Amino acid sequence: MSAALLKFIIVVLFIAMLVSLTSGLVFLLKDMSSSESKRALYALGVRVTLAILLMSTIGYGIYTGKLGNTAPWANHAQQTQSPVE
């Protein structure tokens, strides 16, 4: 699996989580009067599943080395540390 495909999957999962979050809010607002509707609960289950998939994909990418830290302050912290003698 290439790094570009992995990043694409991460973006798709993140967008799917946002859609699930929005649909859960809509279901919650529309079903306020009906206590028997479980659409908001199902949206929560979908969102939790998507979050687990997203974290697993990110973990896989970091573990295999396809994803890394490119923050400018990450290298600076390693250079300023002196070895303990």
- Taking each helix axis from N to C terminus, what angle separates 39-64 and 3-30, rounded to the nearest 10 degrees? 160
Taking the domains of the chain in order of start, what are their residue ranges?
A: 3-67
What is the pLDDT, as a whole number, of residue 81?
A: 58
What is the pLDDT, as a whole number, of residue 79?
A: 57
Cα–Cα distance, 21 to 43 (Å, whole number):
7
pLDDT-derived band at 74 (thresholds 50, 70, 90) equals confident
How far, in whole angstroms, is CA 34 from its chain's centroid?
Answer: 31
pLDDT tens digits, one per residue of 39-67: 888 989 999 999 999 999 999 999 998 98
Q: Any idea what DSSP says for residue 31? A: T
What is the average per-residue pLDDT within 11-30? 93
